Amino acid sequence: MRLLLLVLLGGLCSFQFLSKETRKIISDDQYNYEFYVTDHKLTVFKENRQYYWYRLGEIHQSQSGANGALLQGRYTKSYRGAGIAEEGFFEKGIKHHRWSSWYQNGALKEVTYWREGLRSGTYTAYSDQGIARISGKYSRGKKHGRWIDYQTQDTTYFKQGEKVVEKPKKRNEKTEKPKKEGWITNSKAWFQKVFRKKTAAEKAAKKRQRELKKRAKKQQKPKTNIPPKQSN
């Protein structure tokens, strides 16, 4: 019974929170905007975050603060003529999840992932022909890892927003130790050299060398003089 009451209370609280969201539709000279705002008031704002809020018929943005109704949920910006220009989600006034934008001709322009108001995850920018121009990753609002410029064919590596000269090593990647001088560096070539079939000339030369060694040993062996036996 107690569990049921907790579930009902949680659902009621959720309903009350959702009921405070209000749909808004506004326009300017270039775009139409459709979004939602919440009456939920924040007492503490995250540092280094851009907050989006609505007041007096306009969307405003400010650093680490707000002076109006915070944007909440789905956000859509469309061209006045036709076609969507930008789409994404807000979580208590800051960007969250996937955000996408399009050129006026309908081609995809940019895809960015956000987490709690900071770029976090893959990023891709496209040309107005729908061809990828730049791709990379963000980590807590900073470029991180490999970034590729497909137009210039350049690859750049970043570590928390700072460029690094060399490709960063993976965590499990082992550094190859230099081999000692005199060791066999190519085992395959070594086995082929040792175990290959010798030619007739090589066999004859090898036999000749053995005979010469035997003669040399005989010549170096000292001769012992045995005294003659004395007769009685």
pLDDT in tens, 66-116: 999 999 999 999 999 889 999 999 999 999 999 999 999 999 999 999 999
The number of residues making up the chain comes to: 232
Query: If you ran DSSP here, which 8-state letter would residue 43 be given?
Result: S
23 near 36, Cβ under 8 Å?
Answer: yes
Using alpha carbons only, what angle is made at residue 170 by residues 133 and 115, rounded to the nearest 5 degrees? 55
136 near 147, Cβ under 8 Å?
Answer: yes
Mean pLDDT of the chain: 82
What is the arithmetic mean of pLDDT over 3-20? 50
What is the arithmetic mean of pLDDT over 42-59? 95
Q: Which residues, including other chains, have CB under 8 Å from residue 99's CB and lie 6 or more apart?
A: 86, 87, 88, 89, 111, 112, 113, 114
Name the residue type at position 186: N
pTM score: 0.63
Q: E-assigned strands of 11-165? A: 22-27, 31-38, 50-55, 58-63, 69-71, 73-79, 84-91, 94-102, 108-115, 118-126, 132-139, 142-143, 145-149, 154-159, 162-164
Residue 183: pLDDT band (50, 70, 90) is very low
146 near 155, Cβ under 8 Å?
Answer: yes
